[in-house]
Amino acid sequence: MHDRKAPLLLGAGALALITGLAAPAHARTATPQVPSVAAPAVLPADSAASRAVIDPPRVYGKAAILVDAETGAVRFREAENRRMPIASLTKTMTAYLVLKSAKPGDLVEVRPEDVRYARAGGGTTAYLRAGDRLPVKDMLYALMLPSGADAAHALARTYGPGVSGFVAKMNATARQLGMNDTSYVNADGLPMPGSDGYSTARDQAVLGVQALRDPLLRQVTSTRRHTAARTATHRSYTWSNTNKLLGSPGAVGLKTGFTRAAGFSLAFAGERAGRLLVGVLLGESVSSRRFDTARALLDWGGRVGV
């Protein structure tokens, strides 16, 4: 189902997402005014141009949503409230939460347990070396580009303090943002026996809009390749982004994900017709198709929103 007029339904806590009240400590700005949502122009119902504009692209995943980041208007929705595992989309909350308390230059030490966790869980890794101390900014690249479970574990352990404490903060923050159909069980999205986490396309869109309000997080998630040069505290690293949507005109972040239970997922964003659109695809069965679908949704959303 697609809906060109309905606003994203946000609770009182999620109002901070739209107004900017919950900006991180290192990037607080004056609170912007919430713009009114104007109904998009509608072409004559029987015109060929109308059908070309109104008909959305086909979505193959199990759930999807596309929203206007400025107004909260929903451009497209399909099973957007269905609770599902979201795999590494979880790491967006990890990055967002770290930046609420940490400074980009703060050093995070990688410990053997962080490396062991990623290997034992079968997750993707940033190949961090135990004993290295990296700035938070570089750890975010390690977290979001190659989707490093080792980086997620190190950040959660450091800023919980302890992983369990950090996960509790993740869930508390989700409630504050109005993400009422979300439950995190770890900082990386790997499945855990008997306690799988879940979220919805709608909730992840709420988080995506908020996350992209942070200039550093937007920069990190929009970067295709990042090199952390060798310093006195760590060796050199180079990470490539798993998001193949990047490089397309106007593409901005955000995060890929995959587990067998979740399928292929994608939180994405792009600038179209002067507006930032944020979308989420969950439960796709073909990895490459999620990027084609996201691109098509952004192009379509840019047309129906003008």
**Which residue among the candidates 62, 88, 255, 265 is catalytic per the annotation?**
88
Q: What is Dmax (Cα atoms) for the chain?
A: 67
What's the rounded Cα separation, in Å, for the pair 302 and 305? Answer: 5
Residue that is written with structure tokens 């609420």 in the block: 100
Q: Let me know if 88 is a catalytic residue.
A: yes
Amino acid at 239: W
Tokens encoding 187:
């900082």
Q: Quick one: DSSP state of residue 204? A: H
Distance CA 295, CA 20 (A): 27
For 247, half-sphere exposure in the C-beta direction (CA atoms, 13 angstrom radius) is: 10
3-state secondary structure of 242: coil
Cβ proximity of 207 and 94 under 8 Å: no
Catalytic site includes residue 62: no
As a whole number of angstroms, the distance between CA 156 and CA 151 comes to 8
Give the three-state DSSP class for 162. Answer: coil
Residues 6+ apart with CB under 8 A from 183: 171, 197, 198, 199
Coil, helix or strand at residue 188: coil
137 is catalytic: no
Q: Which of 62, 137, 147, 255 is catalytic?
A: 147
Half-sphere exposure of 60 (CA within 13 A, CB side): 16
Which residues belong to the active site?
88, 91, 147
